[in-house]
Amino acid sequence: MDVGLEGFDPQSLSQDRVDRLCELLLASVPRSDQRRWGELYVRGLLLTEGRKTMQGIAAVVGSAAMQSLQQFISTSPWDWRPVRQCLAAYLDREIQPLAWIVESLAVPKAGRHSVGVERQFASGLGRVTNCQQSSGVWLVSEEASCPVDWQLALPASWTASPEQRRRAAIPDHIRAKTPVQCAVDSVVEMAEHWGLTPRPVVMAVAKADLPGVATAFGMRRIPFVLRIEGSLPVVVRDARSDGPRVLPASRLTDALRDQAGAVEWRDLGQSRQRVTKVVGARVGLPMSVDPLSHGTGVPSFFLTGAWTDPTNIRPTEFWLSNIGHLPASALFRIAKLTRRVSRDLHEICDNVGVRDFAGRSFRGWHHHTTLVSIAHAITVLSRADGRTRSPREQPLAVRPLIGSKR
């Protein structure tokens, strides 16, 4: 059952559901008062209308809370990583994801005070703009998706400046990274240390980034389905000469159009069934693209081409995978789970404030995005329950703070 947001009201969330999940997911936060502030912040993200500013959240949870919430988010030393790992383990059981999907996020900003903001090219926006860039890894099934890890892509101007590092409290070990490098680091950490069920990693990769991504995942036996550019050169065996031949991915898949089959798939962005023509072929990569190939052109990858634009006679999407046992139809369906993430990012994650952190603090950004993920998960799991509250369950509200006037 699709758990779309249509007709969903955050006020319908049960008090018990929020209490249970916050207690479970914030268990690693060492102090009880910190866990309480975390729960209040999550409630504020769920209940505050519009932008999730600190003032707006405090107005919902109690005006006396603003200074303490500000300190809890921006400067409190609690470690966000165990919270994220606990969230991922819980969702791994609850939604049984089919893939891990990397979604880059560029947030345009008017000034340059927020941590990581710089005038830079944002691939997601397709232009140079003043923005903050990050990368999120989502656990995704057909029914639901949720981000479980976030990395902030810091430009060199932030990591090279002692003053910038001091103001944002950027740890000494943090270095400048692109969103793609952030994504690779997240995936490797999750795959090697989080104890999750292995799933294919789906992400879009530019030609210049492909060698690093394919090598990092391949060396660790992490399965992947990478969206690539049609101009990427691939190596195929030429039956006429029994030797290798290099040609663009788009040209190869177009040449195989007679072998393409119709694949029915569920468009999770629009909640409807679609049919797309798809073809696949085993390919290698030139040594200039994949240094580990040693120029052999051995067909160690599977290329999938899809005619996703019905007005175009040529294939318009291309995916490269190291998963050898699945046909093109299955790889294509895995790849199109990105539609679920695009939808949930817009309908849920944006609504609980993923773009709304405006502080200077590096730690604060990580604390905020971690609690945004919890609010997102609560929303997803509450909708998926498909149950009405019993008379004993109280609607989501904010209990009065000790010492407040509410």
Please report the pLDDT score of residue 378 as a whole number: 94
Q: What percent of the chain has pLDDT over 90?
A: 73
pLDDT value at 254 more than 90 = yes
Question: How many angstroms separate the CA atoms of 152 and 46, rounded?
Answer: 23
Nearest to 373 by CA among 67, 98, 105, 64: 105
H runs (alpha helix) in 48-161: 54-61, 66-74, 80-94, 156-159
Please report the pLDDT score of residue 108 as a whole number: 92
Q: Which residues pair with 384 in a beta bridge?
A: none
- The residue that leads in pLDDT, 295 or 331, is 331
| CA angle centred on 308, ends 307 and 309, rounded to 5° | 95
CA 371 to each of CA 13, 39, 116, 186, 280: distance values in angstroms, whole numbers, following the listed order: 17, 9, 19, 18, 41
In this structure, is the dihedral angle defined by the CA atoms of residues 275, 279, 280 and 284, taken in order, positive or negative?
negative
Please report the pLDDT score of residue 391 as a whole number: 40
Q: Tokens standing for 1?
A: 């059952």
User: Looking at 270-371, which runs of residues are DSSP E strands?
Assistant: 272-283, 301-307, 317-321
pLDDT value at 79 more than 80 = yes
> What mean pLDDT do residues 84-113 have?
94
| pLDDT, tens only, 6-39 | 544 555 566 777 888 999 999 999 999 999 999 9
CA 101 to each of CA 77, 142, 143, 347, 370: distance values in angstroms, whole numbers, following the listed order: 29, 12, 14, 17, 17
CA terminus-to-terminus distance, the chain: 40
DSSP string, 114-141: STT-EEEEETTTTEEEEEEEEEEEEEE-
Please report the pLDDT score of residue 237 as a whole number: 78
pLDDT value at 253 more than 90 = yes
Please report the pLDDT score of residue 405 as a whole number: 32
Beta carbons within 8 Å of 399's beta carbon, 6+ residues apart = none
| pLDDT, tens only, 262-295 | 999 999 888 889 999 999 999 998 866 665 555 5
Please report the pLDDT score of residue 239 as a whole number: 66
Please report the pLDDT score of residue 244 as a whole number: 80
**264: burial class by Cβ within 10 Å (0-12, 13-18, 19+)?**
exposed
Please report the pLDDT score of residue 14 as a whole number: 62
Q: Tokens standing for 266?
A: 């569920």
Please report the pLDDT score of residue 388 as a whole number: 37
Mean pLDDT is lowest, of 288-292, 376-380, 395-399, for: 395-399
> What mean pLDDT do residues 71-81 have?
95
Q: Helix, strand or coil for residue 329?
A: helix
Helix (H) or strand (E) holding 334: helix 328-335
| pLDDT, tens only, 199-220 | 999 999 999 999 999 999 999 9
Q: Tokens standing for 218?
A: 């391949």
Please report the pLDDT score of residue 50 as a whole number: 92
Q: Tokens standing for 387?
A: 């149950």
H runs (alpha helix) in 109-263: 156-159, 162-168, 179-193, 210-219, 249-255
Please report the pLDDT score of residue 181 as a whole number: 97
Please report the pLDDT score of residue 331 as a whole number: 97
pLDDT value at 133 more than 70 = yes
Please report the pLDDT score of residue 383 as a whole number: 77
Q: Helix, strand or coil for residue 326?
A: coil
CA atoms within 13 A on the CB side of 337: 28
Amino acid at 386: G
pLDDT band at 395 (very low <50, low <70, confident <90, very high): very low
Please report the pLDDT score of residue 30 as a whole number: 92
Q: Tokens standing for 42?
A: 């999550």
Question: How many angstroms separate the CA atoms of 18 and 26, rounded?
Answer: 12
Please report the pLDDT score of residue 371 as a whole number: 98
Please report the pLDDT score of residue 380 as a whole number: 92
In the chain, what is the greatest distance between 2 CA atoms, to the nearest angstrom? Answer: 84
Question: How many angstroms separate the CA atoms of 244 and 234, rounded?
Answer: 10
Question: How many angstroms separate the CA atoms of 298 and 358, rounded?
Answer: 49
Question: How many angstroms separate the CA atoms of 212 and 224, rounded?
Answer: 13
Q: Tokens standing for 226?
A: 């990478």
